[in-house]
Amino acid sequence: MNFQLNSEQQMLQDSVRRYIERAYAFDRRTAQVRAGRDHHAVNWSSFAENGWLAAALPEEYGGLGGSVLDTVLIAQELGRGLVVDPFVGCAVLAAQTFVAAATPAQLDVLLPRVAEGTCRIALAYQEASSRGKPTVVDTLATRDASSFRLHGQKTLVLGAPGADHFIVSARIADHAASDDNLTLLLIDATAPGVTMRAVPLHDGSWAAQLQFDGVQVGQQAVLGEPGCGLSALRHGLAHGTAALCAELVGAMEAAIVATAEHLKVRKQFGVPIGSFQALQHRMADMAAEMELARSMLYALLASLENDDAATRQHTASAAKALVGRVAKQVCAQAIQLHGGIGMTEEYTIGHYFKRAVVADILFGTSDQHDADRGALLRDASSSSTEMA
């Protein structure tokens, strides 16, 4: 895969960066976070006007026909600017799941509105016991004449406050309870029986807990075929993981630049502390870790373009584990090199660390992904031994 940006991609990256510098300066971001989740509508319309919401959506449904690389370029600049609007949760995770799951008729009805920013969807797949795994689902859809009744609870639904529809993963009561037997349902946010509790996250973004108490779901709200939703869900998660990793790479870049500037102006013993070799070594280590994370992101992008579903899933898990862990380390080091000012709410550095902490929890923590891949390797090794 060629990672050299073409002229259009470079223009996209530059335009996002200019917008963030102009409209999302740190003082304005602080005011928006303090205002709560109500500010998202204004920014979302700007995202739509700039074409960011449509960037990776199919042209035949109102999108621009771009690739996951376009998504990553946008997300990286949003991470650099500490943007708290739910781009990853709604414009990538939910939208890509919808693209992969829905029928052409369903796409034709909703996707153009998603691209133009007049409709927002959120993906509700996590549950209290799932630890980020998409196959752990207790939410149940029971048949009721020609429709279904949905019962269950979803947690950490990114972008749910302000969403018009939820994509909900559920099991159909009379189907076999296997990992593959998942159905994706499109639920109106205002439907009777839907209860939402908005939850502010540590980094200033918002999620929600959703409760479904006998929500009536018509056949037209089943995305694709019943029992065949897992592959679409994994597709959305892989793209969401790539965007989240890109956000973290952008955040690390910004944190390293800010720290380098601080070391140039902060003096001790009459000289800038950046002249101390020990601190130079720590900065070099931070830069090396960031480049490792960037390389892992590139590996994920290449896998999404070229590999089969199982390999994409494995690479996405590895990327989430490595980038999530490295981002926390780099941003924590940035705070340490700033000293006490790095701990204040009025300074940017601590907010990059907050974002890294929250991002590591999303879609499963680094430790969880490492443990899952380790278990798969052990199972594969045991199978090979038995065959031998």
Residues 277 and 353 in one domain: yes
User: Domain boundary at 209, 227, 245, which?
Assistant: 227
> Band of the pLDDT at 8, cuts 50, 70, 90?
confident
Residues 132 and 186 in one domain: yes
| Residue whose pair of structure tokens reads 């799941």 in the numeric block | 97
What is the pLDDT at residue 104?
Answer: 95
User: Dihedral through CA 172, CA 86, CA 33, CA 160, nearest 10?
Assistant: -20
CATH number of the domain enclosing 298: 1.20.140.10
Yes or no: say if 257 and 302 are a contact pair by the CB < 8 Å rule: no
| Span 74-92, pLDDT tens digits | 999 999 999 999 999 999 9
From residue 259, give the alpha-carbon distance in Å to each of 240, 326, 332: 28, 16, 11
| Span 229-248, pLDDT tens digits | 999 999 999 999 999 999 99
Owning domain of residue 214:
123-227
From residue 332, give the alpha-carbon distance in Å to each of 300, 311, 376: 25, 32, 31
* Residue that wins the pLDDT comparison between 324 and 37: 324
Average pLDDT for 332-349: 92
Residues 110 and 144 in one domain: no
Is 36 inside any structural domain?
Answer: yes
Residues 65 and 106 in one domain: yes
Q: Which residues fall within 8 angstroms of residue 195, CB to CB, at 6 or more apart?
A: 210, 211, 213
Residues 366 and 252 in one domain: yes
Q: What are the tokens at 104?
A: 């052409």
Residues 311 and 243 in one domain: yes
Is 190 inside any structural domain?
Answer: yes
Yes or no: say if 120 and 163 are a contact pair by the CB < 8 Å rule: yes
**Percent of residues, the chain, with pLDDT higher than 70:** 93
| Span 118-133, pLDDT tens digits | 999 999 999 998 888 9
Write down how long the chain is.
388
Residue 162 three-state SS? coil
Q: From CA 69, how far away is CA 91, in angstroms rounded? A: 14
Is 207 inside any structural domain?
Answer: yes
Q: From CA 138, how far away is CA 119, in angstroms rounded? A: 28
Residues 21 and 148 in one domain: no
Residues 282 and 346 in one domain: yes
Give how many domains the chain has, as a whole number. Answer: 3
Yes or no: say if 70 and 56 are a contact pair by the CB < 8 Å rule: yes
Is 2 inside any structural domain?
Answer: no
> Band of the pLDDT at 217, cuts 50, 70, 90?
very high
Residues 248 and 143 in one domain: no
Report, in angstroms and rounded to the nearest whole number, the Rg of the chain calculated over CA atoms: 22
Q: What are the tokens at 260?
A: 């380098």
CATH number of the domain enclosing 98: 1.10.540.10
Is 385 inside any structural domain?
Answer: no
| Span 30-64, pLDDT tens digits | 888 888 766 666 789 999 999 999 999 999 999 99
- Evaluate if residue 3 carries a pLDDT over 70: no
Is 327 inside any structural domain?
Answer: yes
From residue 116, give the alpha-carbon distance in Å to each of 38, 47, 100, 119: 19, 9, 19, 8
Backbone torsions φ then ψ of 143, nearest 5 degrees? -70, 140
